[in-house]
Structure 1
Amino acid sequence: MTSSPLTTPMPSPGQVTTIATPINLLLITLLAGLIYFRLRPTTLPTLPSPPPPIVFKTFTPPSLQPYNGEKGMPVYLAVRGRVFDVSPGRNFYGPGGPYENFAGRDASRGLAKGSFDAEMLTENLEGPLDELKDLNSDELEALKGWEERFEEKYLVVGRLVAVGNE
Structure 2
Amino acid sequence: MKVSDILRVKGGTLYTCQPDEPLVKAIEIMAEFDIGSLAVMEHGELVGMLTFREVIHTLAKNGGSVGTRQVRGVMDDHPMSCTPETELDQVRPMMLERHTRYMPVMDNRMLMGVISFYDVAKAVVDSQNFENKMLKAYIRDWPEEETGKNEPNFP
Same fold, TM exceeding 0.5? Answer: no
Higher strand proportion: 2
Normalized per residue, the structure richer in helix is 2
TM-score w.r.t. the length of structure 1 is 0.25
Which of structures 1 and 2 has the bigger CA Rg?
1
